[in-house]
Amino acid sequence: SLMDRSGNAEVVAELAEEMGFTEDDGSRPDSIRSLRYILPNFVFPQMEQESGKPVPGWIRDNVPNFLLPWSVFSSPPPEVEK
């Protein structure tokens, strides 16, 4: 129930999915933890900038709605070899 979540930080997109809420047009936003949100908004632009080539549509259009665990976001970034 919603009362069980009172006082917790929650991702609205995940609550909407769980409880069946939608926007007026029937859509739902992707969770900020979802690869479907992260890759097109952060990873693909970086790849395109570095390669000078667009990410193919068949890749963009088939990103899974896989949720990354919160531990991914609370860990320090991986070390980069120099």
Kindly tell me if the per-residue pLDDT of 1 is higher than 90: no
**37 neighbors 68 (Cβ within 8 angstroms):** no
Strand blocks (E) in the chain: none
Q: What is the pLDDT of residues 17-55, one digit of tens each?
A: 988 999 999 999 999 999 999 999 999 999 999 999 999
pLDDT score of 60 = 94
Overall average pLDDT of the 55-60 stretch = 96
Cα dihedral angle (64, 70, 27, 18), rounded to 10 degrees?
110
Q: What are phi and psi of 3, to 5 degrees?
A: -65, -30
For residue 64, the tally of other CB atoms under 10 A from its CB is 9
The residue type of 31 is S
Share of the chain above pLDDT 70, in %: 99
Q: What is the pTM of this model?
A: 0.76
